[in-house]
Every structure is written in structure tokens, then in C-alpha cells.
Structure 1
Amino acid sequence: MAITEIKENEFENATKEGFVIVDFYGSNCAPCKTLERTLEELDFEAPFINIVKLKIDETENIIEQQGITSVPTVFFMKDGEVLEKKLGFIPLNEMKEIVGKYMY
């Protein structure tokens, strides 16, 4: 699966089934750009993982509902439930460990 940019009104539908990584990012955030490269590497190595991105500038209600206070924030979700939340940059090996913990 390719990394998909979603809008606020698509969040619930995009995360309601299966395992999903959600990247909340800011357009002028340097750590967000570094994390984006990590997510692209993960997508290349494991294209079956569903990864979605939400730009915080365009998602005010979700940001408030989910308690997002800084970016990047990454949710690891399964069937609509947040299993784990990480703040800041996540190295690829750590990302793989988290995915392995919840997918297998």
C-alpha cells in the first residue's frame, strides 16, 4: 500500500479496520520530514502496512479529540483503537519492532 494523505473527515473510516499507522505532521516541521523518509522506507520494505498521514494544520477537531500536542505524533492503531502513541522521530528499527508487536 502506498502512504495515503487523508483529510480529517476520512480519519474514522481510514482507521476503523485492520492495522494502521497514522502520522500527524506539520508542513514546516523538520523532524516530520525525517520521519516521512522512515515511513517511506517502511512502506518499501513492508508494502502491506497501511500508513496514513494527516496534516495538523487541516485537522483541528481530530487534534483536539486525540490530544495531539506536538508533531510528529504517530499512532499505531488496530480496528479503530490506538494501541500505542509515539511523539517525535522514530528510527526505522524501532518502527519495525512496534509493527511486529501488534501485527504478528
Structure 2
Amino acid sequence: MAIVSASDQTFQNEVSNGTVVVDFWAPWCGPCKMIAPVLEEIDSEVGDKLKIVKVNVDENPESAGRFGIMSIPTLLVFKNGEPVDKIVGFQPKEALMGTINKYL
């Protein structure tokens, strides 16, 4: 599955089914740029069991505000539309997978 972008309008639809990791990011954020290729790697390995959605916090403040996103990158793990876990800041792939695997 490919990584998709969501807006405030499409957010709920994107996270409604299965396991979804939402990356709250911004183009000016250095750690966000560092985590992007890690997420692409995860997507290529487990994309059939996991959906990855990116939300630009500058363009979609409503979604970021609804989930109390105070620093980026923040990854929220959703299971069938409900947030079940949170990862704040850059983490290596192994740490991300340790969290994600709990919900696959």
C-alpha cells in the first residue's frame, strides 16, 4: 500500500479501518524529514497489513488540534478509527516497529 496524505476533511475516513499510523509532520521540520524514509521502508515491508497516512500540521490544524499534537513528528496509531498509541519525536525503525507490531 502507498503512503497517503490526509486533510482535515478526509482524516476520519482514512483512519476508520484496520491499523493506521498517522504521521503528523511539517515540511520545515528536520526530524520529520528523517522519519519519512523510515516510514517508507516500513510501508514497503508491512504495507499489506498497515496503512500510513501523513498529515501536514500547517495545512490541517484541526486534525492536529483534535489529538493534542504539540510537537512533531508525532505518530498516532489507530485501530479501527480509535487512537491506541502515540510515538513522539524521531525513533529508529526498530522502536517504531516495536510499537506498531502490537496492533498488527
TM-score range, shorter chain: over 0.9
Q: Percent identity?
A: 37
1:83 aligns with 2:104: no
The 5 A counterparts of 1:64-83 are 64-83=65-84
User: Any runs of at least 4 consecutive aligned residues in structure 1 with deviations exceeding 4 A, and if so which?
Assistant: none
The 5 A counterparts of 1:1-40 are 1-40=1-40
Give 1:45 shift. 1.4
TM-score calculated relative to the size of structure 1: 0.94
Tell me the number of residue pairs that the alignment of Structure 1 and Structure 2 aligns.
103
More helix by share: 1
Within 1, Cα distance between the matches of 2:56 and 2:22?
11
Give 1:47 shift. 2.1
Any stretches of 5+ residues in structure 2 without a counterpart? Answer: none
Q: What corresponds to 2:44 in structure 1? A: 44
Any stretches of 5+ residues in structure 1 without a counterpart? Answer: none
TM-score calculated relative to the size of structure 2: 0.94
Within 1, Cα distance between the matches of 2:26 and 2:80?
25
